[in-house]
Amino acid sequence: MGTGGAALGAAFLASVVEVVEAFTIILAVGTVQGWRPAVGGSLAGLLVLALIVAAFGPVLQLIPIHALQLTVGVLLLLFGMRWLRKAVLRRAGLIPQRDELTAYAGQAAYLITEASRKNTRLDWLAGVATFKAVLLEGLEVVFIVIAVGAARGLLWPASLGALAACALVLLVGLALRRPLAQVPENTLKFAVGVMLSAFGVFWTGEGLGVAWPGEDLALVFFAAMFLLVALAAARAVAPLRAEAPQ
Amino acid sequence: MNRLAPLGRKLAGFFVDDAFLGGATVASVLAASLCRAALATRPLIAGALLAGGCVLALTLSVVRAAARPPT
């Protein structure tokens, strides 16, 4: 598997996580308030995303490759390690695991409470909620696609991975019409954190002019390194929480 | 506009939600850059410094979070 396959896989897994989260909010809004504001807000979010991609996409072509690798690599390191840190803390029991059923119930309750508290039209709140969900989760997908793909002309496989994830989640979600709680989201987040951090070290090093031994295979080495360290860290700190006074 | 405030906060926290981890990661990159410039003929040392620094940053950040009293 070359970097093309790794970029496709990383973009696919990361996008599954993001789209599942957005889908939960859209489903909660659609169920509570009907599908018109849910779909309207989602389409508005997609439109803004498309405008952002259309505006900033061509700029990538103008940046020299080493500068692009370094910039994208550092941003990916920050983003990936943030993600991996949270995944380790979740695995160690230091922060709660993400649960789509809880997120769904929370979103539905939020909509109802906000509407009564502020005496606002629920349609407007519902539309804003799906707009924000699609825009924020979509921005993360766009960033991941650019980050794993742009530094070496791998935008197509990365985009393909993201599109496949969107199609899969939407098809399964529309068929089931309930939150996708069966998706092993926390495990996926752990895996994605490992992959993004590995890409981050790889691109940053290439941006600095480091010729990694084994070339693309170095990516596998970095992924294994982050996986082992993250698993060991989760195992090491888990007893600390158990011992802490409640 | 108030409804967009959480959007701004989320965008700001897009890359960094733990100042220690963010600072340590950037410090690792800077150290690797300096090392690359100083030891131009041995770029792998800079690579090792980068990878090692990131792993250390992640580990310390997790340990710090675990050592914090529960809220």
Output the pLDDT for position A72: 87
Whether B10 is in a domain gets the answer no
Contact B55 A209 (CB under 8 A): no
Structural domain including B34 reads 17-67
Question: What's the pLDDT at A65?
Answer: 80
| The pLDDT of residue A88 | 93
How much is the average pLDDT of B51-66?
A: 94
Tokens of A39: 């779909």
Q: In the structure encoding, which two tokens stand for residue A100, read together?
A: 């789509």
Size of interface A-B (CB pairs under 8 A): 114
**What's chain B's average pLDDT?**
85
Instruction: Check A229 against B55: CB less than 8 A apart.
Output: yes
Asked if residue B8 is part of any domain, the answer here is: no
Quote the pLDDT of residue A246: 44
pLDDT band at B8 (very low <50, low <70, confident <90, very high): low
**Using one digit for the tens of pLDDT, what is the confidence trace for B11-33?**
667 778 888 999 999 999 999 99
If one counts the domains in chain B, the total is 1
Q: Give the gap in angstroms from C-alpha B60 to the nearest C-alpha of chain A.
A: 9
pLDDT in tens, A13-72: 888 888 888 888 888 888 877 788 888 999 999 999 889 888 877 787 788 888 888 888
| Gap between the Cα atoms of B55 and A230, Å rounded | 9
Output the pLDDT for position A153. Answer: 77
pLDDT bin (cut points 50, 70, 90) of residue B52 is very high
Tell me whether residue B40 is in a domain.
Answer: yes
For tokens 């407007």, name the residue. Answer: A124
Do B51 and A222 lie within an 8 Å CB cutoff? yes
Chain A residues within 8 A of B45 when measuring between CB atoms: none
Tell me the shortest Cα–Cα distance from A184 to chain B, in angstroms. Answer: 22
Nearest CA in chain A to B34: A208
What is the value of ipTM here, to two decimals?
0.83
**For chain A, which residues score pLDDT lower than 50?**
245-246
Mutate to test the interface with A, among B9, B42, B54, B63 (most CBs of A within 10 A): B54
For residues A40 and A38, give the distance between their C-alpha atoms in angstroms, rounded to a whole number.
6
At A227 the pLDDT is 95
By Cβ distance, the residue of A74, A79, A225 closest to B55 is: A225
DSSP string, A138-191: HHHHHHHHHHHHGGGT-HHHHHHHHHHHHHHHHHHHHHH-S--TTS-HHHHHHH
Q: Which residue has the tokens 């789509």?
A: A100
